[in-house]
Structure 1
Amino acid sequence: MKNRILAGAVALVSSVTLSGCGFLPGSGGGDRTVTVWLMKDSVSPGFLEKFTSAYEKDNPSIELDFRIQEWSGIGPKVLEALESDDAPDVIEVGNTQVAQYAESGGLRDLTLESMRDLGSEDWLPGLAQPGQISGVQYGIPWYAANRVVIYNKEIFQKAGIDSVPKTRAQWMADTEKLNTQGNQGMYLAGQNWYVLAGFIWDEGGELAEGSGGDWRGTLNSPEALAGMNFYKELQALGEGPMDADEEKPPQTDVFARGDVAQIISVPGSAALIEQKNPELKGKLGYFPIPGKTEKAPGSVFTGGSDLIVPKNADQRSAGIAVVKALASEKWQTELARTMSYVPNKPSLAHVVEGEEGTAAMAEGARRGRATPNSSQWARVEAENPIKPYMTAVLQGNDPAAEAKKASERITAMLAGS
């Protein structure tokens, strides 16, 4: 699925995004055409033209035909393509969508290629894990984005805070200090469940757990409840609504007023903030969500894309070769620098070191995770019992009772009932 996290990640390049659902063919000189479905706004025309030119020069028998797809309604469209006799050769999919498509039986097993040629042992876990179902690698990690803390440097300086926090305890202490000078120390909406997921993972909990194909919601575990308790403490250090998510109202609008010290968002949100309030240009900073110790940043939800190859594609081998190129160090470096994405390997994080926001995102991505790898998880997100659970706890209801109720609903959804 496409998560709102990626919408913010591409904000910095929105002026050069691809157009509609058309196609960008290659030079037309190849003997074989490899058709690739890419999602709207995933890459810029400049990147795609550069990749196409270089790839077709190195592979003169191949013509690349990129067809741009809308995120809206993409699930049924991909499933239909996987069942047809006219499937594209490569498809970009949301990292958390792979399980759904693998269940159809229409994906090619890419395990051998991922182990032999692509260095899968170094992939970001938030992309690699959801691409693997029952030990089989169907999705090849392409790019990632995750949340960081965006902060107002001026407010930090006025509060006497000279360095960004490295631990949760220091983060809370700094936020309390920032919240006592007529400013909001942290603007955090009550239903930002992706942020909650990171806190739950840091405590050793899960949103849901699966065994033998059976899944159950686990928000009522002691670890998950500890994560919710930390969320509640942090959310109280600001005026975020308890009964809405980060889009109601848009947290970038709230931050742009100039009296908020911190929000949790993707770095691309800074461009939107500066557009609304040019006086904040040069005053925004970034740091990874702090972990419980200085040894590692906090866990974060990883949004992003994997590349899959349909079983019934006409050019399966040629399609795999294109996937390998897109996932290679050369083109990962180009993609990360062009689009301000996190590369698919932590070892490539150095390629974005000069970009403060993307570098903070890449550091946090080392602790990236994905949502439960169930083909039914999309239904959980669509109806989302996690959001009302969070609101109920923030409004003073018993956390254990509310967590049990939400977990039971998640269990039923994951069982298809």
Structure 2
Amino acid sequence: MRRRLLALLCVTGSLVSACGLLPGGHARTTVTVWLMKDSASRDFLRRFTDDFERTHRDLRLDIRIQEWTGIVEKVRAALKDGSGDAPDVIEVGNTQVPLYADGGRLADLTLESMRDWGQDAWLPGLAEPGKDGNAQYGIPWYAANRVVIYRKDLFRAVGITAPPKTREEWLADTQKLDSGGNQGIYLAGQDWYTLAGFVWDEGGDLAVQKDYDWKGALDTPAALRGMDFYRRLQALGRGPVAADEEHPPQAGVFAGGRVAQIVAVPGLAQSIVQRNPSLKGTLGFFPVPGKTAARPGAVFTGGSDLVVPRNTKDQFAATAVVGALTGATWDTELARTMNYVPNKTTLAAAVAGGEGVAAMAAGAAHGRATPGTPQWADVEADNPIKQYMTRVLTGADPRTEARRASRRITEELTPGL
């Protein structure tokens, strides 16, 4: 769930303390922090650094911005024992934490999480991937997830005055919208992140762990019910059954045709309006509906966690930075600045003023992440879930195809099987 090059160096105004010396000649400890490009604005990082260094007079921040391309190998190299230029704090994608925690390369931050950081209110889609057993390695920072982007004018034209609250209402409304040359919804056949939410809503999962072994779980009754709902919804539009939401990019489809709804992150609305300025002011957002009106549907939660390498030179200083960045003051400031969801459900009110972000926050409260195993990346490399979806949407027997896909997932999650 990352934006812009920045190197916070010694700045004018307090040159002595900013460059590593305290009054009286005592050296500051430098904390090296790797953050990803575009995760935070230049202005946010400047303000955070000024505040942190003012309130932690013995510490100095050296924030280094990293590119997403090639980051996995770069982080892995930095986590090796004896690495000469290892950072003290690293921003990682929430689903990447199991990859880096494998082999004991990250510091266990469970004590701080329980004592100081309010882990009981963390978004589950950020917290769960950061945990291995009883150990918390990844500390939730910010989140983003899918919502329904819709055209208010098309809803009004068929007499729909408010967004649906339940999945059955969603189906009924979408069927009304799928008329007069409109597509009720554009949903590509291989949008497996959206499918995952329906599976989770039914109580199923993509894969489950028993003892130390992972096994594909698309063939459970709950997961099959999730796929059946996806099939019914996808049929109320003309999304390609053998492609995902990026082929073609669904923003272009939405902008270029009479499409009533898509499932996407709210930020995609900006791209839609850029492609078709006539849609400015017509777009709205609502959470993916749940099985009942009592709560929105489950969604895949993307975003970032902060981790501390085990080989940090000063874990106390590193955790001070993590605590400040993920604390209520700066986490909500980041969310407002970048249109993210804050890391705790209790902070959702901080973004309630933005329709799109508020819809994200409602869904994120019930969000999930992909199975917490380092091998999940191997599943996504040649994703059997996509192939399963296409086969079911083209008429194949769901149970047979779910068993086939589950076997493939199990094989990828169990090297040497």
TM-score, with length taken from structure 2: 0.94
Matched letter for residue 332 of structure 2: T
Partner of 2:54: 57
Separation of aligned partners in 1, 2:120 and 2:178: 43
Separation of aligned partners in 1, 2:377 and 2:212: 16
Shift of 1:257: 1.6
Partner of 2:228: 229
Please list the CA deviations of residues 317-361 of structure 1 after superposition, one character each: whole Å capped at 9, or x if unmatched: 111000000010000110010000000001100011111100000
Partner of 2:288: 289
Partner of 1:211: 210
Please list the CA deviations of residues 176-227 of structure 1 after superposition, one character each: whole Å capped at 9, or x if unmatched: 0000121000000000000000000011111000011100001111111111
Separation of aligned partners in 2, 1:332 and 1:63: 20
Matched letter for residue 206 of structure 1: D
Shift of 1:258: 4.4
Aligned in 2, Cα 1:217/1:26: closer, same or farther, shift over 3 Å?
farther
Partner of 1:14: none
Q: Are the equivalent residues in 2 in contact too, given 1:146–1:301 (CA < 8 A)?
A: yes
> What secondary structure, in the 3-state scheme, does the structure 1 residue paired with 2:129 have?
coil
Separation of aligned partners in 1, 2:95 and 2:382: 16
Question: Any residues of structure 2 matched to 1:301-340 within 5 Å, and which?
Answer: 301-340=300-339
> What secondary structure, in the 3-state scheme, does the structure 2 residue paired with 1:411 have?
helix
Partner of 2:4: 18
Partner of 1:154: 153
Question: Any residues of structure 2 matched to 1:237-386 within 5 Å, and which?
Answer: 237-386=236-385
Q: Are the equivalent residues in 2 in contact too, given 1:179–1:185 (CA < 8 A)?
A: yes
Task: Flag as ranges the 4+ runs of structure 1 deviating above 2 A.
Answer: 22-30
Aligned in 2, Cα 1:178/1:26: closer, same or farther, shift over 3 Å?
farther
Matched letter for residue 408 of structure 2: R
> What secondary structure, in the 3-state scheme, does the structure 2 residue paired with 1:273 have?
helix
Shift of 1:37: 0.6
Partner of 2:179: 180
Aligned in 2, Cα 1:271/1:67: closer, same or farther, shift over 3 Å?
same
Partner of 2:19: 29
> What secondary structure, in the 3-state scheme, does the structure 1 residue paired with 2:246 have?
coil
Q: Are the equivalent residues in 2 in contact too, given 1:26–1:64 (CA < 8 A)?
A: no
Separation of aligned partners in 2, 1:26 and 1:116: 34
Question: Any residues of structure 2 matched to 1:111-190 within 5 Å, and which?
Answer: 111-190=110-189
Partner of 2:77: 80
Shift of 1:416: 1.5
> What secondary structure, in the 3-state scheme, does the structure 2 residue paired with 1:368 have?
coil
Please list the CA deviations of residues 18-41 of structure 1 after superposition, one character each: whole Å capped at 9, or x if unmatched: 12xx63335433311110011111
Shift of 1:401: 0.9
Which deviates more from structure 2 when the two are superposed, residues 72-81 or residues 242-251? 72-81
Q: Are the equivalent residues in 2 in contact too, given 1:29–1:60 (CA < 8 A)?
A: no
Separation of aligned partners in 1, 2:381 and 2:65: 24
> What secondary structure, in the 3-state scheme, does the structure 2 residue paired with 1:285 have?
strand
Identical-pair percentage: 61
Separation of aligned partners in 2, 1:72 and 1:407: 30
Separation of aligned partners in 1, 2:37 and 2:231: 36
Please list the CA deviations of residues 290-320 of structure 1 after superposition, one character each: whole Å capped at 9, or x if unmatched: 0000110000000011100011111221110
Separation of aligned partners in 2, 1:306 and 1:26: 27
Shift of 1:146: 0.5
Please list the CA deviations of residues 364-406 of structure 1 after superposition, one character each: whole Å capped at 9, or x if unmatched: 1111001111111111111211111111111111111111111
Structure 2: state its 5+ residue gaps: 12-17, 21-27
Which deviates more from structure 2 when the two are superposed, residues 374-383 or residues 194-203? 374-383
Separation of aligned partners in 1, 2:355 and 2:233: 24
Higher Cα Rg: structure 1 or 2?
A: 2
Shift of 1:61: 2.2
> What secondary structure, in the 3-state scheme, does the structure 2 residue paired with 1:38 have?
strand
Please list the CA deviations of residues 70-120 of structure 1 after superposition, one character each: whole Å capped at 9, or x if unmatched: 112211211111104331000001111111111121111100000100010
Partner of 1:94: 93
Separation of aligned partners in 2, 1:193 and 1:187: 14
Partner of 1:403: 402
Aligned in 2, Cα 1:156/1:315: closer, same or farther, shift over 3 Å?
same
Separation of aligned partners in 2, 1:375 and 1:247: 25
Separation of aligned partners in 1, 2:164 and 2:341: 22
Separation of aligned partners in 1, 2:52 and 2:235: 52
> What secondary structure, in the 3-state scheme, does the structure 1 residue paired with 2:342 have?
coil
Which deviates more from structure 2 when the two are superposed, residues 382-391 or residues 55-64? 55-64
> What secondary structure, in the 3-state scheme, does the structure 2 residue paired with 1:164 have?
coil
Root-mean-square deviation over aligned CA pairs: 1.1
Separation of aligned partners in 2, 1:156 and 1:258: 15
Matched letter for residue 351 of structure 1: A
